[in-house]
Chains A and B, each alone.
Chain A
Amino acid sequence: MDFILGHYNYWIVIFLMMIGFYTVVSRGNLIKKIVGLNIFQTSVFLLYISIGNVKEGTTPIVAEGFTQYSNPLPSVLILTAIVVGVATTALGLALVVRIKEAYGSIEEDDIHDQDQSL
């Protein structure tokens, strides 16, 4: 029991990851797919940052009276990942805007039907 509760950060990560994955797979709306992809991304951020946390550790800033601090490397890595995530979201939204202009719809089924009827 302690093994399960002690690793609660992993459960949160798995829960969020599966929510995002399910949203990407099951929804036909392209904007909802991007939202799902972002939730998936956030779960990976949480995974890395929670692993980098050290028990009783402070933020990795030099200060009087603190010697133990959390590992700053995952945070730096995830800072870059967040920026990349913003860029990929912008790219995905730009593609959705172009698809909407070309097909007049952002529902995947409609787009497939229009492709079939050509």
Chain B
Amino acid sequence: MRHNLILRVIAKILIPVIILFALYVQFHGDYGPGGGFQAGVIFSVAFILYALVFGLDTAERVLPVSVLRLLASLGVLIYAGTGFAALLLGGKFLDYNVLAADPVAGQHLGILIIELGVGITVSSVMLIIFFAFAGRGRV
């Protein structure tokens, strides 16, 4: 597919839009439909499209699997870290109320951070699965 001009041009136009939509879904999750799971999958779709059109090696140069593994654990760390931060601030585990000065702001901050962790983990795990499948049989 390396020489398919139409596909390459359309993909270059589509990929930023997909990433932008993923970020919208990610950070709109507290007020509207959205959240980390959906945004993570949409985000990874952008990179899977890139890998399909421009080749697996190019995509792995952009996002190496070692970096993706770190990101996958970073997301879990953000999730658990928020819970322990709430514990240290005097609340219960994952009790967002104590994260900011007043409970409503704390709830907003808490759910945004939690969903960010979920989004990072989901998108990187999706890409790891894709690279693991697509990279098989290629020594």
Residue pair A79, B32 in contact (C-beta under 8 Å): no
> B33–A59 contact, CB under 8 A?
yes
Q: Are A97 and B133 within 8 A (Cβ)? A: yes
**What's the minimum C-beta distance from B85 to chain A, rounded to whole angstroms?**
23
Q: Nearest chain B CB to A52's CB is how many angstroms away?
A: 15
Q: Is B37 an interface residue (CB 8 A)?
A: yes
Q: Is A35 an interface residue (CB 8 A)?
A: no
Q: Tell me the smallest distance from the CB of B103 to a CB of chain A, in Å.
A: 15
A12 within 8 Å of B (CB atoms): no
A94 & B37 in contact (Cβ 8 Å cutoff)? no
A101 to B137, CA, bound (A): 9
Interface of A is mostly: helix
**Does A90 belong to the interface (CB within 8 Å)?**
yes
- In the complex the two chains form, is B133's CB within 8 Å of A61's CB? no
Are B32 and A61 neighbours in the complex by a CB distance under 8 Å?
Answer: yes
User: Which residues from 47 to 80 on chain A have a C-beta closer than 8 Å to any C-beta of chain B?
Assistant: 59, 61, 79
Q: A45 CB to closest chain B CB, in angstroms?
A: 14
Interface size class of A (residues with CB under 8 A): 10 to 19
| Distance, CA A79 to CA B38, complexed state (A) | 9
- B129 near A: Cβ within 8 Å? yes
B61 close to chain A: CB less than 8 A: no
Does B3 lie at the interface of the complex (its beta carbon under 8 Å from any beta carbon of A)? Answer: no
B37 in contact with A61 (CB, 8 Å):
no
Question: Is the beta-carbon distance between B133 and A83 smaller than 8 angstroms?
Answer: no
Q: Which of A73-116 contact B (CB under 8 A)?
A: 79, 82-83, 90, 93-94, 97, 101
- A93 — which chain B residues lie within 8 A by C-beta? 133
Distance between Cα atoms of A90 and B122 in the complex (Å)? 14
Chain B neighbourhood of A59, CB < 8 A:
33
- CB atoms of B133 and A94 under 8 A apart: yes
Q: Is the CB of A79 within 8 A of B133?
A: no
Closest Cβ of chain B: how far from A18's Cβ, in Å? Answer: 29
B2 part of interface (Cβ distance < 8 Å): no
The CA-CA distance from A101 to B134 in the complex, in Å, is 14
Complex A-B: 8 CB contacts under 8 Å: A61-B32, A61-B33, A82-B37, A83-B37, A90-B133, A93-B133, A94-B133, A101-B137
Q: Which residues of A contact B (CB under 8 A)?
A: 59, 61, 79, 82-83, 90, 93-94, 97, 101
Sort A-B residue pairs by CB-CB distance and give the 5 closest, nearest first: A90-B129, A83-B37, A79-B37, A97-B136, A61-B32
